[in-house]
């Protein structure tokens, strides 16, 4: 039986993972959970799955959870960054699902790797901010990093049993989000409520906004560089509104392999949990006859400049990707609070990148410092807009 720790249990990935556990009790056991502020949902998860240890964001949330639980005498409740690290390195866990949102997932993911745990990675920001450090540590510890994002899982599956040296190109697909057919002028007026209406996927707020701006795809380009040891120049993006082809790989002889399936995150999550095996899924089969046309087109970087900024940061390397990610996190938060316009996202991020002097081959400390600098710089730029 595989014993699982989940970082981000109340988010979309965490809830889908627990659904898989619930349907396969003979294969999986939840031993540790970490969540942020959704105490009510976390309480339900604790009662249902009975983990041995739970972490929340703050001391106040921990106290609230203590008061809400009748089984509190049997469960250890911890909080804060140290609590997340303890969940990630919990001794009896075989695999850690890293599905927290944002760069906050970096240190717990590193703690899991340091503890020798396999990682089912849904926190792309870990690879964006510190991909080289993470991959080196995983190799040193003999740890598997198994991608959970549908696009990276697709690539992982296409490459299974094949030599990476024969890989010519990676092709990431993107749905295009809710604004694919909007004009650039129309994008200036879109509200967060519109941006949160993704046509294919049900995700958390932050990643849904990133999908609408195509920043999510840009972050995935940088993540793919580290997961599959590819040059940024050899990673392409195609808009594919149907979200059936989850990504493709091209080999040096011109052969192209694609991984297809219905747009449901339980498929890549289940594969990450059972790799290298597969389990029966009760989801509907893909019906290509019903799907009919599968469309592909190049992304419009003029209309969605966040994708171009991500390529720029990825090519620059060093601390630039961490700065890109941090600036985006703060800008998206401001957009969700309706302090800035949708089109301000890319402009704010670009301004921060323009004044950043990227470090080459940065240490973890330098990456964390760049992250904090970018957050402060972004907040200053936002204040100039709203003042």
The DSSP element (H or E) to which 133 belongs, if any, is helix 124-141
Q: What is the three-class DSSP state of 70?
A: coil
**pLDDT for 203:** 83
CB count, 10 Å around CB of 33? 28
Residue 270 to residue 23: CA distance in whole angstroms: 11
Task: Say how many C-beta atoms besides its own lie within 10 A of residue 189's C-beta.
Answer: 11
Domain ranges of the chain: 2-147
Question: In 3D, which of 109, 156, 161 has the Cα closest to residue 130?
Answer: 109
And the tokens for 335?
């957009």
Q: Which of 291, 307, 186 is nearest to 237 (CA)?
A: 307
Q: What's the alpha-carbon Rg for the chain, to the nearest Å?
A: 20
* Nearest residue to 351 (alpha-carbon basis) of 319, 384, 318: 384
pLDDT at 51: 97
| Local structure of residue 360 (DSSP, 8 states) | S
Residue 367 to residue 357: CA distance in whole angstroms: 12
pLDDT score, position 4: 98
C-alpha 102/C-alpha 11 separation (Å) is 12
Residues 6+ apart with CB under 8 A from 60: none
Q: How many CB atoms lie within 10 A of CB 361?
A: 9
**Is 96:31 a contact under the CB 8 Å cutoff?**
no
For 372, the enclosing helix (H) or strand (E) is helix 364-386
The structure tokens 């944002």 sit at 102
Is pTM beyond 0.75? Reply is yes
Pairing assessment for the beta strands 53-56 and 245-251 based on DSSP bridges: unpaired
Class of domain 2-147: alpha beta
Question: Phi/psi of residue 191, each to 5°?
Answer: -95, 160
> Tell me, what's the pLDDT at 37?
85
Token pair listed for 370: 């760049």
- Give the count of beta carbons closer than 10 Å to the beta carbon of residue 380: 12
Order of all β-strands in the sheet with 76-79:
76-79, 53-56, 28-34, 2-7, 95-98, 118-121, 145-147
CA 336 – CA 38 distance, rounded (Å):
18
Give the whole-angstrom CA distance, residue 201 versus residue 197: 9
pLDDT at 292: 83
Q: How far apart are CA 214 and CA 292, in angstroms?
A: 25
What is the predicted pLDDT for the residue at 18?
98
Nearest-angstrom CA–CA distance, 313 and 189: 27
Q: What is the pLDDT of residues 67-82, one digit of tens each?
A: 888 765 579 999 999 9
Helices (H), 160-298: 184-187, 192-195, 205-213, 215-227, 266-274, 288-291
Contact yes or no for 179/187 (Cβ under 8 A): yes
pLDDT at 72: 54
Q: Is 257:158 a contact under the CB 8 Å cutoff?
A: yes
Lookup: tokens for 324: 């890109």
pLDDT reported for residue 212: 95
**From CA 4, how far away is CA 116, in angstroms rounded?**
14
Instruction: Give percent helix, percent strand, percent coil of the chain, each to the nearest 5.
Output: 50, 15, 35
Query: Which residue positions in the chain have pLDDT lower than 50?
Result: none
Run of H or E including 365: helix 364-386
């Amino acid at each position: 039986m595989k014993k699982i720790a989940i970082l981000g249990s109340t988010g979309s990935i965490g809830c889908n993972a627990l659904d898989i556990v619930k349907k396969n009790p003979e294969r999986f056991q939840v031993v540790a959970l970490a969540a942020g502020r959704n105490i009510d949902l976390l309480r339900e998860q604790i009662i249902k799955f009975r983990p041995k240890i739970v972490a929340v964001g703050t001391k106040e949330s921990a106290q609230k959870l203590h008061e809400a639980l009748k089984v509190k005498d049997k469960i250890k409740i911890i909080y804060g960054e140290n609590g997340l690290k303890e969940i990630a390195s919990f001794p009896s866990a075989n695999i850690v699902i890293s599905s927290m949102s944002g760069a906050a997932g970096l240190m717990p993911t590193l703690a899991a790797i340091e503890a020798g745990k396999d990682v089912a990675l849904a926190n792309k920001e870990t690879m964006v901010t510190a991909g080289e450090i993470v991959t080196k540590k995983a190799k040193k510890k003999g740890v598997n990093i198994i991608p959970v994002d549908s696009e990276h899982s697709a690539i992982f599956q296409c490459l299974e049993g094949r030599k990476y040296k024969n890989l010519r190109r990676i092709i990431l697909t993107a749905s295009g989000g809710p604004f694919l057919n909007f004009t650039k002028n129309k994008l200036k007026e879109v509200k967060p409520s519109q941006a949160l209406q993704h046509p294919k996927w049900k995700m958390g707020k932050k990643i849904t906004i990133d999908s609408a701006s195509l920043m999510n795809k840009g972050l995935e380009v940088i993540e793919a560089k580290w997961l599959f040891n590819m040059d940024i120049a050899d990673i392409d993006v195609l808009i594919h509104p149907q979200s059936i082809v989850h990504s493709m790989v091209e080999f040096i002889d011109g052969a192209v392999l694609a991984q297809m399936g219905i747009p449901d995150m339980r498929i890549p999550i289940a594969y990450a949990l059972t790799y290298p095996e597969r389990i029966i899924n009760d989801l509907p089969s893909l019906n290509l006859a019903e799907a009919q046309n599968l469309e592909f087109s190049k992304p419009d970087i003029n209309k969605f400049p966040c994708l171009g900024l991500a390529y720029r940061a990825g090519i620059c390397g060093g601390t630039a990707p961490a700065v890109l990610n941090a600036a985006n996190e703060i800008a998206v938060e401001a957009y969700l609070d309706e302090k800035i316009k949708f089109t301000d996202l890319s402009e704010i991020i670009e301004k921060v990148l323009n004044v950043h002097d990227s470090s080459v081959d940065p240490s973890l400390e330098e990456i964390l410092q760049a992250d904090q600098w970018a957050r402060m710089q972004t907040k200053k730029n936002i204040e100039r807009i709203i003042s």
